[in-house]
Amino acid sequence: MRYFWGLDLIRFVSALMVVMFHFGGFGANVPAWPVPASEAPLGWLQPVGWLGWVGVQIFFVLSGFVIAASARGSTFGVFLKKRAIRLLPVLWLSAALALIVRALWGEPLGELLPAFLKTLVLSPKGPYIDGVVWTLVVEAAFYLCTALVILLAPILGGTERALDRFALLLGAASGAFTLFYFACKVTSGPIAQMGAALPLGSFAFDVTLLRQGVFFALGMLMYQAVDQGMTSSKLWVMMGLSALCMLQIFNNVGQMPAALAPIAVWSVAAALIYLGARFGDRVFTRDVRPIMRPIGLMTYPLYLNHFVLGAALMPILAGWIANTVVLFVVMLAILLFNAWFMAQYLESWAQRHLKRALLGSPRVRQPASQLREARP
């Protein structure tokens, strides 16, 4: 699979956006989120950091791009095994860390263990040991759908054609849901009454990809355009999906002009994903993998560990560090070091053993930067 160095940079920045979103709402006395800005040690982040949640929607576009690339030429079993190797080791390590941290803060194990077990298997029904795990459940649902498309590819005209059709179908279904959700918000009458009768905010619409599918579909079509070339029809479809993605972001916010900022940030990131993949090699002709891959590999453990670990560290560090800027730097440094250590050592070790168990890989020690392909 071709390496797109720009994706790692966008992925890392998106993770930092989510970190800032949560940092501003951590409590000062006990692990808590969200708390009002006046009660949060880093409450000064909230006026800007509040839109950091849109980093998740950027992740979903990245995931669609990467999965469209890695699924081509793969088989049903190999694809699922490789996704498990990429997804599960850090998830399990992070879930164990979250369990320990929350137990040390006095939460009863009887309540934590069911959430821990649901996290390990990415159950479609929570609660989870860490609040950010819901996005991994949505990712897993997308992987499973893609694997089924690969399985059915021989009767659908081949893998590439099947994946392209899947992207269009997913975009159309999710787009219809997005339009219906929007109509329920801004209109009255039968449509609004129908929307009120349905649990449109239910997590079930995320797991079934109806709410987030437009982002995955756009990413898949972006890869197709980069790999096979842009045509006028592809451009129009991508523009339509982009508009639906923006509408879904508006649905999340619920009002204008507040939705303009996250829509603008997402739009810039989406454009950079395509432009970086299409022209990134022309910007840097030298190999930047030694710099970008470690940054990209830190993203996943940073994302998975920052919420529970950050919420637990905040009351401790806030009692020692009065200067909130220094507190912010120390908090971020701890989380970045934890992410780097996990990516370079713990994750690579776990992936190496899981790869040998699932794929029968030879027992050869490789640098961490060569063990994984890019992932969202």
pLDDT digits (tens, 9 = 90+) for 139-181: 999 999 999 999 999 998 888 999 999 999 999 999 999 999 9
pLDDT higher than 50, residue 370: no
Going 179 to 180 to 185 to 189, the CA torsion angle's sign is: positive
Q: What is the CA radius of gyration of the chain?
A: 21
Contact between 292 and 8 under an 8 Å Cβ cutoff? The reply is yes
pLDDT score at 366: 41
Query: Mean of the pLDDT values across residues 97-107?
Result: 96
pLDDT bucket at 185, cuts 50 / 70 / 90? confident
Residue 268: per-residue pLDDT: 97
Check residue 156 and give its pLDDT: 85
The pLDDT of residue 117 is above 60: yes
Side-chain half-sphere exposure of 122, counting CA atoms within 13 A = 20
How many angstroms separate the CA atoms of 241 and 288, rounded? Answer: 31
The mean predicted confidence, pLDDT, of the chain is 90
pTM of the model: 0.91
Tell which residue, 19, 20, 27, has the closest CA to residue 48.
Answer: 20
Q: What per-residue string of b and e applies to 306-332 under the rule 16 or more CB within 10 Å gives b?
A: bbbbbbbbbbebbeebeeeeebbeebb
Q: What is the pLDDT of residue 195?
A: 67
100 pLDDT band (50/70/90 cuts)?
A: very high
Tell me what percent of the residues of the chain surpass a pLDDT of 70.
91
Using one digit for the tens of pLDDT, what is the confidence trace for 193-206?
Answer: 676 667 888 899 99
**Lookup result for tokens 């390590």:** 93
* pLDDT tens readout for residues 269-299: 999 999 988 887 666 667 777 788 889 899 9
Per-residue pLDDT band for 367 (boundaries 50, 70, 90) equals: very low
pLDDT mean over 57-79 = 94
Decide: 142 and 209 in contact? Cβ < 8 Å: yes
Question: Can you give the residue ranges of every domain in the chain?
Answer: 5-370
What one-character DSSP code corresponds to residue 14?
Answer: H
Whether residue 33 has pLDDT greater than 90? yes
**Is residue 371 very low, low, confident or very high in pLDDT (cuts 50, 70, 90)?**
very low
For residue 1, the model assigns a pLDDT of 62
Higher pLDDT: 374 or 145? It is 145
Residue 359 has pLDDT above 80, yes or no: yes
Give the pLDDT of residue 276: 87
Q: Would you say residue 231 has pLDDT above 80? A: yes
- The stretch 227-233 carries a mean pLDDT of 89
pLDDT of the residue at 245: 98
Q: Which of 2-11, 190-199, 329-338, 350-359 bottoms out in mean pLDDT, i.e. has the lowest?
A: 190-199
Mean pLDDT, rounded, for 364-368: 40
Backbone angles phi, psi at 350, to 5 degrees: -65, -40
What local confidence, expressed as pLDDT, does residue 363 receive? 45
| HSE-up of residue 156 (Cα within 13 Å, Cβ side) | 14
